[in-house]
Amino acid sequence: MGILAVISLVGLAASSASTTNVEDNSVFVLSLSGTLNERAAEDPLATLTGEVSENIGLDKLLNAIKKAKDKEEIKGIYIEAGLFSSDTPASTHAIREALLDFKKSGKWIVAYADTYEQSTYYICSVADKIFLNPDGMIDWHGLASTPYFVKDLLAKFGVKYQLCKVGKYKSAPEMMTADGMSEPNREQVTAYINGIWEVMLKDVSDSRKIPVDSLNAYADRFVTLAEPEDYVKMKMVDKLIYTDEVKGEVKKMLKIDESDDIKQLTLADMEGVKGKKEGGDQIAVYYAYGEIVDSETGSLVDTEHNIVANTVCKDLEKLTNDDDVKAVVLRVNSPGGSAYASEQIWRAVTNLKAKKPVVVSMGGYAASGGYYISCAANYIVSEPTTITGSIGIFGMFPDFSGLLTEKLGVKFDEVKTNKHAAFGTIARPFNAEEMALLEQYIGRGYNLFRKRVADGRQQSIEQIEEIAQGRVWLGNDALKIKLVDEIGGLDKAIAKAASLAKVSEYHATSYPEEQSWWENLLDQATSKNNYLDEQLQATLGEYYEPFKFVKNMNRQSAIQARLPYYVNIK
């Protein structure tokens, strides 16, 4: 029986790698449902059970749209919007830009939904025709960030955190050490959510020909609860129809009879569609996404992909020594993490740049440690809504002495040979002299961070200090202060890398290689993320990551260059 199972699985793997035959007058059906990540590994258990995987890889999605544009037999894209969770506003912007590029080929896009979430409506607003269920809804309300704070909760257990940080805007520790947002943090969050909203307003306005003032007024009126007929009057949708009527509308676009079948291709089908013939020199695209950690055991969030320093450094060294690779695009989507790990990766990027051009393509986040590993590149391309900058550093150290002595009645004594022999003991908090030593250490880390940025961006440390202090910048604003060189997506970064390498014919290859279906199956079978963890994530929603942050605080490096997990753009 075991042998039969293996044979079946091998057959499955072979079939999944087969080439998709594309018939003339076909439609690419894009289902915007599930969770969008930078990359999404194949889900073998979902395939085996016949379920649809809920994970969507941005890389595969963008590639599918590009293939659909280039494939003459594909005449249009039908988007069916459902419950869709994007990791960042920059990712939804990248999808929207790809769809706009698709339309340049003269092909059409049609969208339908029972309910359009704000992010899916933003994407679908590029469509030639937007249809809605006659009893449907469009969630259009603006953006908000709702951080929460656990200092008083921890105090109930006799736990508090001692903080050393450099940068008045460095807000990550506030969740543990403050009762609310500091004014500098409020200033920067206000700036970047308004900046993201401005991009969304302009994009929707351009596509739907609705004035920005009107779109803002709709959000203020909370048209989420409006009558569906009002959406047509507002020009937010073109028609209210039922699902059985959608096929008729698509057939009109295809110019086929009502009795004809629609030839459809799913996202999974598009993986097997051959793209344009790729030749020329190789440009490597290395994906670095997630939290930056020294090792897998230092991860704050078990369920997510991480940038593991020793692994990334080895991978970059291989690319450095691979003569077939003429340039490297480092695709960064990270809020940061360990300062030590960030320095190691910075070194690997510097060594790589000494032999061949390195271009950074910034995804949703390239902030704090994410910017640290980016700043040595020859050139940096950012999405307009990328969260970047945050040049600052902090150390946060738990003090459990209140819990142990006051709550649990544990008593401590001390014998030592040297003045600071008991440095870091759980018996007491740091004293003033010990905190002063820690502040000096954190200060040196900040000075090194500034120097790395100044050297990479060819500016003085004084110039960098003016835009540092842990301040978060939106991509559009980062361009103005020279933290990035250009606004654009991954394709633009690849083209720039080829230009710097002085190659005219090229193709892009993704690294690191994705795990095989068998490796993914083994990972799922042996995963430490059990059913209870999945249920907890489903229950807590956006608060799951902060919960994990608190739960696993002692597993991480104490010295961090990262953004807070609680920044959520709704």
Residues annotated as catalytic (active site), given as ranges:
170, 368
Rg of the Cα trace of the chain?
A: 25
Closest CA to 238 of 252, 228, 253: 228
275 φψ region: left (φ > 0), alpha (ψ -120 to 50), beta (else): beta
472-474 and 387-389 beta bridge pairing = antiparallel
DSSP at 264: E
Concatenating the DSSP letter of every residue in 107-160 gives -EEEEEEEEE-HHHHHHHTTSSEEEEEEEEEE------------HHHHHTTT-E
Closest CA to 429 of 405, 394, 445, 408: 405
Question: Distance between CA atoms of 156 and 153, rounded to whole angstroms?
Answer: 5
Cis-peptide into 398, omega within 30 deg: no
Per the document, the length of the chain is: 570
Query: What three-state secondary structure class fits 447?
Result: helix
Closest CA to 367 of 350, 391, 402, 338: 391
Amino acid (1-letter code) at residue 522: L
Structure-token pair, residue 34: 């599930």
Element housing 325 (H / E): strand 325-334
DSSP at 14: H
